[in-house]
Amino acid sequence: MKFHFNHRLPLCVALCLAALTTSHAQDTADAKSGWTALFNGKDMTGWHGQPHFDPYKLAELSEEERAAKIEAWTADAKQHWSIENGELVNDGHGAYLTTDENFSDYELKLEYRTVAKADSGIYLKGTPQVQIWDYTDEGKFNIGSNLGSGALWNNSPKAPGKDPLVLADKPFGEWNTVHIIQVGSRTSVWLNGKQTVDHAIMENYWRRDEPLPASGPIQLQTHGGEIRWRNLEVRPLGTEEANSILAAHHNDGFVSVFDGKTLDGWIGAVNDYEVTENGSVQCQKGRGGNLLTEKEYSDFSARLMFRLPARGNNGLAIRAPKEGNPAYAAMTELQVLDNDHPAYATLDERQYHGSAYGMAAATRGYLRPTGEWNFQQVTVIGPTIRVELNGNVILDADVSQVEDYMAGSAHPGKTRTSGHFGFAGHNDPVEFKDISIREEN
């Protein structure tokens, strides 16, 4: 049977760039498992039509223009999608089925069955794609179909996740199972129980120099042959679970530098910081100064979690000397800031969270809501510094190439090749915990 669409036009599509949009799917999820069905097996409630279309351009349209496009796309989808025996069936043409809801950190499970020479995929956060295609000699061997499905085909050549780790496709006529976990841009995929992508960064096809949109829809691509879908389920991830997933991956070699009880191993403003009952360290309210590791580091990666109070302001001192303002005397101070507080509405772009203070601006929009814990990793190699926030790379800069400084103020410390790691307190009780460092030399 041809299906009937029964849904509101999704205004949330316009918000696909908003940070950490919460889906109402969590509200309707099973109380025990947290999973909810994306497809009810009867009609297309919760879905609309949308082809391969830039979500940034869609968000820029007026509400009326956007609604008109979605109405036209949905009408097109009706011509090519049907429901048979509780399965979604596409004839290989037409607009993609697209969830009305946006998702940020989540787990997705589904099954698909396709035919020879077909070429399809699953768009995540409105972005292509987890690849599905013909792995036999009838397929597109010239662009990698012989390696199999289940990888992030639109990643850059040789980038992690671009090609599947194993060939896991089942023969045509059989159902394939897909399991995806996505936290920020970090994406893991299992195809038929075999891992094909291991916690790789999914690149933003639409804007290669930015992370994925903070949230966006799931889309089922239609391309070149019949494909059937069933048992589509999603489970939004809470902050604690999302942070735990990030902390558990690629953590070899990291050594804790904070025991959660004392400031042993730290120097500097030890009297201006305190260890809290929950095992975090924070600058005392109204106090300041630099709390630094006793040890100095050259090339290193640092992992930590932090929690901002409203209007919170602190910083990470990178290769800092024992004395001086890390923003200028160290290689840099990486901002730790409540970006959305009205008090900071008119800052220079190089002053917002994750920025190399006064030198290089980080991409905004990836902090968790104020009061929640964030996971961050900083990697410093030579003159380069990379900041990954909640699974999204928000800064990747070579400070040796910076010549334009905020307010024309020079940064004499940017050429430092070693120094202390620590916190540059600015009178606010910003909390840090689970602090570990791995030396990269």
CATH number at residue 432: 2.60.120.560
- Distance between CA atoms of residues 172 and 169, nearest Å: 9
For 376, counting Cβ atoms within 10 Å of its Cβ (0-12 exposed, 13-18 middle, 19+ buried), the class is buried
Structure tokens at 199: 């916690």
User: CA 213, CA 314: separation in Å to the nearest integer?
Assistant: 26
What pLDDT tens digit does each residue of the chain (441 aa) get?
545 554 444 333 443 333 333 333 333 445 457 999 999 999 999 999 999 999 999 999 999 999 999 999 999 999 999 999 999 999 999 999 999 999 999 999 999 999 988 889 999 999 999 999 888 877 676 778 899 999 999 999 999 999 999 999 999 889 999 999 999 999 999 999 999 999 999 999 999 999 999 999 999 998 889 999 999 999 999 999 999 999 999 999 999 999 999 999 999 999 999 999 999 999 988 888 999 999 999 999 999 999 999 999 999 999 999 999 999 999 999 999 999 999 999 999 999 999 999 999 999 999 999 999 999 999 999 999 999 999 999 999 999 999 999 999 989 999 999 999 999 988 899 999 999 999 997
User: What pLDDT does residue 143 have?
Assistant: 77
Model pLDDT, residue 211: 98
* 112 and 255 fall within a common domain: no
Residues with Cβ < 8 Å from 317, sequence gap 6 or more? 290, 292, 326, 330, 333, 419, 420, 421, 422, 423, 424
Same domain, 426 and 293: yes
Which of 186, 211, 237 is the C-terminal boundary of a domain? 237
**Residue 3 belongs to some domain of the structure:** no
Residues 122 and 254 in one domain: no
* Same-domain pairing of 203 and 283: no
207 part of a folded domain: yes
Q: Is there a single domain that holds both residue 149 and residue 285?
A: no
User: Cα–Cα distance between 281 and 260 in angstroms, integer?
Assistant: 7
Domain range for 218 is 11-237
The residues, any chain, with a CB within 8 Å of residue 117's CB and separated by 6 or more, are 134, 138, 139, 224, 225
Whether residue 71 is found in the same domain as residue 97: yes
Residue 231 gets the label, from left (phi > 0), alpha (psi -120 to 50) or beta, of left
Spell out where 194-286 has E strands. 194-201, 219-220, 227-236, 255-256, 266-268, 273-275, 281-283
- Kindly state whether residues 256 and 301 are assigned to the same domain: yes
Kindly state the tokens that stand for 373.
């814990």
Same structural domain, 220 and 281: no
Taking alpha carbons only, the member of 196, 199, 173, 176 closest to residue 186 is 199
Give yes or no: residues 233 and 248 share one domain.
Answer: no
Tell me, yes or no, whether 256 lies in a domain: yes
In a domain, 1, yes or no: no
Examine the fold and report which residue of 173, 203, 237 is the final residue of a domain before the chain moves on: 237
Cβ burial 87-124 (10 Å sphere, 16+ → b, else e):
bbbbebebbbbbbbbbbbbbbbbbebbbeebbbbbbbb
How do beta strands 266-268 and 288-297 pair?
antiparallel
Q: Total domain count for the chain?
A: 2
Identify whether 2 is part of a domain: no
Q: Which of 191, 211, 237 is the last residue of a domain?
A: 237
